[in-house]
Structure 1
Amino acid sequence: MTTGRGPTQADKQAIPSVWTRPRRQREHLTRERIVTEAVRLLDAEGIEALSMRTLSNRLNAGATSLYRHVANKDELIELVVDEVYGELHVPTAEHRSEWRSAAAAAANSLRAMALRHSWIASVLGQVGLSHLGPNVMRMSDRMLAVFETAGFPSDETDRAVSTVVAYVIGVATSEAAYLSMISRSGSTEQEWVEDLRPALEEAARDHPRLIEGQVAQRGVDPGQVRDETFDYGLQCILDGLEARLAHHGSV
């Protein structure tokens, strides 16, 4: 027999996110300590090394103590992602003429963060409700303010921000994977490129356009090449967004 009663508040399942639970206070093992150590572990050994057991050992704490603050690995990932987003610098655009330089500075800050923490690219698709994190929310709000100052209508500001962020994360993901591979080899990026050059030239010998590009980059710092390539794509995106602004101004 059913009562016809709908689900009460007590019947509902909690939303599985670290940002929806109250924090524990006044304990020796704090959320801040856990997150700081988790970021250190990730930077040193990568995402494969991250586990609740490994982290509790590094903190000299029992697993039970850790689980009082972080329910599982998914919540831990939410926390570390928000932590590194706190490193981002998004300038304020006081005037409309400053929006483009502010957006470019924010994009470069995001790329630099992603390259410092190369593991982040592999977890961005599994961070749950990361947008509830205070640092992610702060960054998002400041970015939206830049594009509002630019003059984008309210229904486009979020899309404009998402376009820039998607470009940065896409490029930085490839860069981080490439740099991680070089790091594992024990070579510098310059050494890697020079060691690989004979094989590249052999593979490209029937492709004159590729050979021309390789010749142009001989002796050039590969980091500089990556910076210039990133900036080229970013400026193209900002050109497109500026064209959108001009369109809105003409209608």
Structure 2
Amino acid sequence: MDTVWSRNQKSPRQTLTLERIVAEAVALLDEEGVGRLTMRRLAERLDTGSTTLYWHVKTKDDVLDLALDEVFREVRMDDLAELAGLPDEASGQGGEAGGTVVGDAVVGDAVIGGAVVGGAVAGGAVAEGIVAGGGGGDWRAPVRGLMRRWRAALLRHPWSATLLDRPLMGPNALRRTEFLYETLTAAGFAVPKTAAYSLSNYVMGSVIMQVTWERSGDSDTGAFLRERADRYPALAEHGLEHDWDATFDEGLGYLLEGMARSRA
């Protein structure tokens, strides 16, 4: 499999680093979206030539893979391992620092036990979403916190919603998926893959729906449905608009409760 994650990185001949490229790519994507990202425009923003840029990355897809994995680095986990009843090292964030890891190369950071050490603080609230699912050894607490933070990171970078159809094989995404698998396994799920699949697809689906809806602009669906209440009485009564955060949390609660009952 030939991807940016599987290739050994070349030693740079100049001061331009992969870490700088990724940071600038994320900034460009935040400002202008995926459609405006080209290798030439990225090179211009880095004040370098395309040839120099190609020394580090082969294609635009490489850049997008790296940028998307950088978004996952914002999903901090350092306070979730204890709630999950896992060793501290399970979070992969024993000593936080910045950096980008590709293949076997480490750029501007360190690797501890094969796990990426890094991650920007996501959103602000350190314990957001932790207590709501329960405390102590309740597996729902760290899972709820992880899913909330994952969603928040993706929503801070709306362009990421258009890239969620690609394999999430970067070290930051894999570390968080590994943590989810470990948490679910420790909670007694014999097949954590199925539970993790349900959770991750719920997060990604909710993000894609919210980003798409918000980009479509304001539309009075309520008036449309009320005018057709004879055909759609339930929709006319309850509507399609909602508080995105509250709806996500309520739906996540349904999902976690169903998983808990199934496990029992």
Shared fold by TM > 0.5?
A: yes
Residue 17 of structure 2 aligns with which residue? 30
Q: Is 1:17 aligned to 2:3, yes or no?
A: yes
Residues in 2 aligned to 1:126 and 1:151: alpha-carbon distance in whole angstroms: 30
Q: 1:124 aligns with which of 145, 152, 164?
A: 164
Structure 2's unaligned 5+ residue stretches are 87-135
The alignment of Structure 1 onto Structure 2 pairs a total of residues equal to: 210
Tell me the amino acid that sits aligned with residue 166 of structure 1: N
Q: CA deviation at 1:180?
A: 2.8
Q: Out of 190, 204, 207, which is 1:172 matched to?
A: 207
Q: SS at the partner of 2:165?
A: helix
**TM-score relative to the length of structure 2:** 0.72
Gaps of 5+ in 1: 1-14, 183-191, 247-251
Q: 2:225 touches 2:235 (CA, 8 Å); kept in 1?
A: no
Q: Is the 8 A contact 2:12 2:55 kept in 1?
A: no
Task: Give 2:244's aligned residue.
Answer: 226
State whether residues 75 and 153 of structure 2, in contact with CA within 8 Å, keep that contact through their aligned partners in structure 1: yes
> What does the per-residue CA deviation read over 1:65-118, in whole Å, with 9 as the maximum and x for residues that have no partner?
000000001111111111111011342212783210111111111111121111
Counterparts of 1:1-251 in structure 2 under 5 Å?
15-23=1-9, 24-25=11-12, 27-90=14-77, 91-92=80-81, 93-94=84-85, 97-127=137-167, 130-131=168-169, 133-153=170-190, 156-182=191-217, 192=218, 198-199=223-224, 201-202=226-227, 204=229, 207-214=232-239, 222=242, 225-246=243-264
Taking the aligned partners of 2:25 and 2:13, their CA distance within structure 1 comes to 20
Change (3 A) 1:67 1:115: same
**Larger gyration radius, structure 1 or structure 2:** 1
Q: CA RMSD in A?
A: 2.3
Alpha-carbon distance between aligned partners in 2 of 1:211 and 1:179, rounded to the nearest angstrom: 21
For 1:126, what is the secondary structure of its paired residue? coil
Query: Partners in 2 of 1:26 and 1:99 — Cα distance?
Result: 47
* 2:25/2:67 contact within 8 Å kept: yes
- Paired with 2:63 and 2:237, the residues of 1 have a C-alpha distance of 47
Runs of 4+ in structure 1 off by over 3 angstroms are: 195-208
**More helix by proportion, 1 or 2?**
1
Give the corresponding residue for 1:8.
Answer: none
> Alpha-carbon deviation of 1:151?
1.4
C-alpha distance 204-52 of structure 1, shift in aligned 2 (>3 A)? farther
Q: TM-score, normalised by structure 1?
A: 0.75
Quick check: 1:121–1:169 contact (8 Å CA) kept in 2?
yes
What's the offset of the Cα at 1:241? 1.3
String of CA shifts for 1:124-145, please: whole Å, max 9, x gaps.
2235xx42x2211211121112
- Partners of 1:89 and 1:162 lie apart in 2 by 20
Give 1:16 shift. Answer: 2.1
Q: Aligned partners of 1:86, 1:103: CA distance in 2, in Å?
A: 17
- Residue 61 of structure 1, CA deviation: 0.9
